[in-house]
Amino acid sequence: MPVILVASLDQSAAIVEYVRNRMAEQGVDSLVADVGFRGDPTHHADIPREVVFEAAEQTVETLRAMSADEAGGLIASALSSLILDYYLEGKADGVFAVGDRIFAPIAIKAMHQLPFGIPKLVVTTPSDGSVGTMAGSRDILILDSVLDLASDDRISRGLLDNVSLAMSGMVCGDGQDSSPSESALKPLVALSTTVTTEKAVHQSRIFLEGKGYESVIFHVTGPGGRTMESVINEGQVIGVLDITTAGLSTQPMEPEIVGPDRLTAAGRRGIPQVISVGGLDSTCFASDAVITDSFRHRPSHVREDLRVLVRSSAEESAELGAELARRASASTGPTLICLPLRGISSLDAEGEPFWDPDADAALFQAVRDHASGAARVVELDHHIDDPEFCEAMVNSLTEMIAED
Amino acid sequence: MPVILVASLDQSAAIVEYVRNRMAEQGVDSLVADVGFRGDPTHHADIPREVVFEAAEQTVETLRAMSADEAGGLIASALSSLILDYYLEGKADGVFAVGDRIFAPIAIKAMHQLPFGIPKLVVTTPSDGSVGTMAGSRDILILDSVLDLASDDRISRGLLDNVSLAMSGMVCGDGQDSSPSESALKPLVALSTTVTTEKAVHQSRIFLEGKGYESVIFHVTGPGGRTMESVINEGQVIGVLDITTAGLSTQPMEPEIVGPDRLTAAGRRGIPQVISVGGLDSTCFASDAVITDSFRHRPSHVREDLRVLVRSSAEESAELGAELARRASASTGPTLICLPLRGISSLDAEGEPFWDPDADAALFQAVRDHASGAARVVELDHHIDDPEFCEAMVNSLTEMIAED
């Protein structure tokens, strides 16, 4: 059960050696992959940097001529493919990266492209704390260290001992296979949620489970929408119940976090999807302080984590509906858009602060106007939280899956 | 070898149960500590919330009446003390916290108060990515998940399996004790570094090692200065070679990250310290975009990680020198301030972009003017990177330690 140990061997060779020995004591072998491109390697690598660079169709010279960001992106993609090949061939059971504040982001980017479940651990040496934010969309364990770690003192060693043991524990444990419960045989459906659609998602999940499906639920505020698209893209789910498309409204505020790919993976893979408009009544701001002027005087709601939701206007709602319908219409598989005519989030219901039938009407009309191709539209005289609406979405999806 | 499993049992009981069972399969027991204060617990806790609240001298009612931040801070401190007691009594070997975006920061704050080396792991469920930045000053492994994890699907389970195995690996492994090399017997000295003082720190470390000392090196840009102060405070080092006091200049820019405690712990504990002025020639900005107007037209230097250093003015240098001398003068133990008259960082040398003898002279004069009490000042006609300067600092420190 070898671990691929990723590092820049012109910088971190001593740490790599230490960690490798510590894992070996636990019976875990490692394959050292060198991805440094600035200095010259001081140690032997099992996967030399030239192999990684070749996979990236680059030489050390071309990489050095690029910006750190560009070179890092190319190396990350190539590294990710190499690791995945090793993993799929049974030659690697996990990835462990040790890197500085320049290199750690490359390792994290590469790990973002690996499926969930492969043990992933990154130690940054040292970081100013900025690396920790980068992991959010994958199952990556990060230790963001302010210690140099190269100094071989007892505090640094204690830290490296712990991460080596953590990695060893992940690949030695029989966790991945020990509980092949019957649920592993159930078909898996991806659901999208956010705070204001939790009730609808919870109910839909129960309906799905009643029909013998398993659900994986992504929080699509922040980077979760990107994660959901990538899991769909990897073929891990059989269908998608995309109740919460709120990422479309937050995208203009946080374009890099939400990403341009929301609502595209299921359509590209041609798997059945039911889409709704949950959470499109609001744009999510990181705090009250960053609300931009055009949003300032609208109805707003402060979440428990102090993020602030601001009501979408009728004009924005129309744009969001058109964009949603366009993305859904590009699908190559069965696609249904379900419109809950009595409100699209827990805040958008009669008596609640975001209740705005005109804005919702503009959203619905734009969906009707722009839906074409594979995308059918159904309208139900329910609120999104109504069990009848959730059951109807689930029934439609499971019928589409059965016919697919 | 039990693990303290920290969670809010009104929210995360199902995850706690799953993780507890997975660790038990690996032979690891857990003690569940409940620290929720919003809803009512749905499961039994080994350390009930009332015990934690009592240690915080609060009731659930008083906590609920506070802001989340205030309540969280009190709970974190109390939790930290309880965990430390268990650890010191041999009743706990690690801490594993599972929490949402409200709760995870409480667990992380509590872990910040625990010594290095105790295995610490936090899983946030789900997070918007903001939690990852919080770990930076301790050896905390963080998995910042966008998955709900409560849905018991195969992807969430795979993730929880991995973290359970990682935690089990850390506490089962004999890592902490397996290599009691002779270095464990050497006296340990704390050093402070940043990019522009790396050469001086590296040389000093070699001199220290030649004299039979072990070094632990903290990067004091960002939260590393806070970490160094806390490690000194815990009594883990016998002396401090505080070459890089650059945190003082960055503090006005990043007050919460640097913290007000730099240069205070050694003085409070009364252990020998040698202080220099490394890196006080510059203020560190997170990027070019955030440079404030008064810094805009000064000499600047872009680091490899795109952080930008801007030259300190003579006026600022005088203020920094005074502040450094005041903090050093409050020491209760032997304290020496070493001034390198030919430049205070690798950028501040003849021919380098930050070379500014007038600004340095203002710094040095302010140090001379404000040093009093325990703090003596020596001046050397060297650059900070000169081996002679480093050797002199090391000789002074080791003499002070020998006499102490």
Which residues in chain A touch residue B185, judged by CB atoms under 8 angstroms apart?
A: none
Claim to verify: residue A221 and residue A345 sit in the same structural domain:
yes
Contact between A183 and B236 using a beta-carbon 8 Å cutoff: no
**Which residue of chain B has the CA closest to A164?**
B170
Claim to verify: residue B134 and residue B217 sit in the same structural domain:
no
| Res B199: pLDDT | 95
Confidence of residue A253 (pLDDT cuts 50, 70, 90): low
Domain boundary pick from B159, B177, B195: B177
Contact between B129 and A193 using a beta-carbon 8 Å cutoff: no
Which residues in chain B touch residue A146, judged by CB atoms under 8 angstroms apart?
A: 136-137, 218-219, 222-224, 227
State how beta strands B282-285 and B273-278 pair.
unpaired
Mean pLDDT across chain A: 89
**Which residue of chain B has the CA closest to A149?**
B217
**Which residue of chain B has the CA closest to A67?**
B304
Looking at the predicted structure, is the pLDDT value of residue B112 above 70? yes
Contact between B219 and A126 using a beta-carbon 8 Å cutoff: yes
Query: How much of chain B exceeds pLDDT 90, in percent?
Result: 63
User: Is some CB atom of chain B closer than 8 A to the CB atom of A184?
Assistant: yes
User: Is some CB atom of chain A closer than 8 A to the CB atom of B67?
Assistant: no
Claim to verify: residue A21 and residue A169 sit in the same structural domain:
yes
Claim to verify: residue A203 and residue A221 sit in the same structural domain:
yes
- Give the CA count within 13 Å in the CB-facing half-sphere of B220: 36
DSSP assignments along B184-201, one per residue: GGS-EEEEEE-GGGHHHH
| Res A176: pLDDT | 47
Exposure string of A345-380, with b = 16+ CB inside 10 Å and e = fewer, is bbbbbeebebbbeebbebbbebbeebbeebbebeeb
Claim to verify: residue B224 and residue B318 sit in the same structural domain:
yes
| Res A254: pLDDT | 64
Average of per-residue pLDDT across A240-266: 81
Euclidean distance between CA atoms B31 and B46, whole angstroms:
6
User: Is some CB atom of chain A closer than 8 A to the CB atom of B167?
Assistant: yes
Contact between A173 and B26 using a beta-carbon 8 Å cutoff: yes
Looking at the predicted structure, is the pLDDT value of residue B95 above 60? yes
Euclidean distance between CA atoms A181 and B236, whole angstroms:
47
**Which residue of chain A has the CA closest to B134?**
A129
Euclidean distance between CA atoms B285 and A35, whole angstroms:
28
**Which residue of chain B has the CA closest to A231?**
B155
Which residues in chain B touch residue A39, judged by CB atoms under 8 angstroms apart?
A: none
Average of per-residue pLDDT across A158-179: 80
Whether A359 contacts A312, CB under 8 Å: yes
Exposure string of A115-127, with b = 16+ CB inside 10 Å and e = fewer, is bbbbbbbbbbbbb
CB atoms near residue A174 (< 10 Å)? 11
Domain boundary pick from B145, B161, B177: B177
Contact between B143 and A147 using a beta-carbon 8 Å cutoff: no
Euclidean distance between CA atoms B287 and B304, whole angstroms:
11
Claim to verify: residue B100 and residue B199 sit in the same structural domain:
no
User: Is some CB atom of chain B closer than 8 A to the CB atom of A218?
Assistant: yes
- CATH number for the domain spanning B142: value is 3.40.50.12020
Claim to verify: residue A92 and residue A151 sit in the same structural domain:
yes
Domain that holds residue B283: 182-403
Shortest alpha-carbon distance between residue B220 and chain A (Å)? 8
Claim to verify: residue B161 and residue B186 sit in the same structural domain:
no
Shortest alpha-carbon distance between residue B368 and chain A (Å)? 32
- CATH number for the domain spanning B381: value is 3.40.50.12030
State how beta strands A375-380 and B30-34 pair.
unpaired
CB atoms near residue B86 (< 10 Å)? 18
Q: For chain B, how many structural domains are there in total?
A: 2
For tokens 């301790």, name the residue.
B138
User: Is some CB atom of chain A closer than 8 A to the CB atom of B305?
Assistant: yes
Number of separate helices (H) and strands (E) present in chain A: 15, 14
| Cβ contacts of A396 within 8 Å, gap of 6 or more | A274, A336, A338, A378
| Res A323: pLDDT | 93
**Residue B286 DSSP class:** S
Whether B34 contacts B54, CB under 8 Å: no
Q: SS3 sequence, A175-242?
A: HHHHCCCHHHHCCEEEEEECHHHHHHHHHHHHHHHHCCCEEEEEECCCCHHHHHHHHHHCCCCCEEEE
DSSP assignments along B141-197, one per residue: EEEE--B--TT--HHHHHHHHHHHHHHHHHHHS-HHHH---GGGGS-EEEEEE-GGG
At residue B33, the 3 state secondary structure works out as: strand
| Res A2: pLDDT | 92
Euclidean distance between CA atoms B128 and B101, whole angstroms:
8
User: Is some CB atom of chain A closer than 8 A to the CB atom of B257?
Assistant: yes
**Which of A142, A152, A159 lies closest to B116 in CB terms?**
A159
Contact between A139 and B162 using a beta-carbon 8 Å cutoff: yes
Looking at the predicted structure, is the pLDDT value of residue B388 above 90? yes
Average of per-residue pLDDT across B103-113: 88
User: Is some CB atom of chain B closer than 8 A to the CB atom of A106?
Assistant: no
**A329-341 per-position pLDDT tens digit:** 999 999 999 999 9
Contact between A166 and B167 using a beta-carbon 8 Å cutoff: yes
Shortest alpha-carbon distance between residue B199 and chain A (Å)? 14
Residue type, B27: G
Average of per-residue pLDDT across A262-289: 92
Euclidean distance between CA atoms A360 and A348, whole angstroms:
9
State how beta strands A3-7 and A30-34 pair.
parallel
| Res B178: pLDDT | 43
A279: left (phi over 0), alpha (psi -120 to 50) or beta: left
User: Is some CB atom of chain A closer than 8 A to the CB atom of B231?
Assistant: yes
Euclidean distance between CA atoms B324 and B364, whole angstroms:
11
For tokens 């903090």, name the residue.
B327
Highest averaged pLDDT of the listed ranges A114-118, A176-180, B47-51: B47-51
Confidence of residue A133 (pLDDT cuts 50, 70, 90): low
For tokens 């609920």, name the residue.
B64
Contact between A147 and B227 using a beta-carbon 8 Å cutoff: yes
Looking at the predicted structure, is the pLDDT value of residue A37 above 50? yes
| Res B144: pLDDT | 82
Shortest alpha-carbon distance between residue B52 and chain A (Å)? 22
Question: Could you tell me how many residues make up chain A?
Answer: 404
Q: What is the largest CA-CA distance in chain A?
A: 69
| Res A130: pLDDT | 63
Shortest alpha-carbon distance between residue A176 and chain B (Å)? 6
Query: How much of chain A exceeds pLDDT 70, in percent?
Result: 92
Residue type, B139: D
Confidence of residue B191 (pLDDT cuts 50, 70, 90): very high
Confidence of residue A178 (pLDDT cuts 50, 70, 90): very low
User: Is some CB atom of chain B closer than 8 A to the CB atom of A223?
Assistant: yes
Claim to verify: residue B242 and residue B354 sit in the same structural domain:
yes
User: Is some CB atom of chain A closer than 8 A to the CB atom of B134?
Assistant: yes
CB within 8 Å of chain B, chain A residues 258-277:
none
Shortest alpha-carbon distance between residue A137 and chain B (Å)? 6
Confidence of residue A48 (pLDDT cuts 50, 70, 90): very high
Query: Nearest 5 degrees, angle CA B25-CA B27-CA B31?
Result: 95
Q: What is the largest CA-CA distance in chain B?
A: 69
Strand order in the sheet with B300-302: B282-285, B308-311, B300-302
Looking at the predicted structure, is the pLDDT value of residue A354 above 60? yes
Looking at the predicted structure, is the pLDDT value of residue B1 above 50? yes
Which whole-number Å values give the CA distances from B21 to A116, A234, B15, B25, B168, in the listed order? 21, 29, 10, 6, 11
**A282-328 per-position pLDDT tens digit:** 988 877 777 888 888 888 888 877 788 999 999 999 999 999 999 99
Contact between B126 and A224 using a beta-carbon 8 Å cutoff: yes
Shortest alpha-carbon distance between residue B314 and chain A (Å)? 27
Euclidean distance between CA atoms B114 and A180, whole angstroms:
37
Poorest-pLDDT segment among A95-104, A122-131, B13-22:
A122-131
Mean pLDDT across chain B: 89
| Res B253: pLDDT | 66
| Strand segments (E) across A85-131 | 94-99, 120-124
Highest averaged pLDDT of the listed ranges A359-368, B59-68, B250-259: A359-368
Contact between B173 and A168 using a beta-carbon 8 Å cutoff: yes
Claim to verify: residue B294 and residue B212 sit in the same structural domain:
yes
Looking at the predicted structure, is the pLDDT value of residue A151 above 80? no
Claim to verify: residue B196 and residue B94 sit in the same structural domain:
no
Average of per-residue pLDDT across B166-173: 91
**Which residue of chain B has the CA closest to A26?**
B173
Whether A118 contacts A207, CB under 8 Å: no
**Which residue of chain B has the CA closest to A154?**
B184
| Total CB pairs under 8 A between chain A and B | 274
| Cβ contacts of A107 within 8 Å, gap of 6 or more | A6, A35, A76, A79, A95, A97, A99, A122
Looking at the predicted structure, is the pLDDT value of residue B177 above 50? no
Euclidean distance between CA atoms A308 and A311, whole angstroms:
10
Confidence of residue B261 (pLDDT cuts 50, 70, 90): confident
**B130-160 per-position pLDDT tens digit:** 666 666 667 899 888 878 777 678 888 888 9
Claim to verify: residue A159 and residue A189 sit in the same structural domain:
no
| Res B149: pLDDT | 79
| Res A177: pLDDT | 47
Contact between A166 and B216 using a beta-carbon 8 Å cutoff: no
User: Is some CB atom of chain A closer than 8 A to the CB atom of B20?
Assistant: no
User: Is some CB atom of chain B closer than 8 A to the CB atom of A127?
Assistant: yes
Shortest alpha-carbon distance between residue B77 and chain A (Å)? 21
**Which of B26, B216, B222 lies closest to A128 in CB terms?**
B222
User: Is some CB atom of chain B closer than 8 A to the CB atom of A179?
Assistant: yes
**Which residue of chain A has the CA closest to B19?**
A175
Domain boundary pick from B124, B148, B177: B177
**Helix, strand, coil % (nearest 5) of chain A?**
45, 20, 35
**Residue B313 DSSP class:** P
At residue A165, the 3 state secondary structure works out as: helix
Higher pLDDT, A180 or A290: A290
Contact between B183 and A257 using a beta-carbon 8 Å cutoff: no
Euclidean distance between CA atoms B381 and B386, whole angstroms:
10
CB within 8 Å of chain B, chain A residues 24-43:
25-26
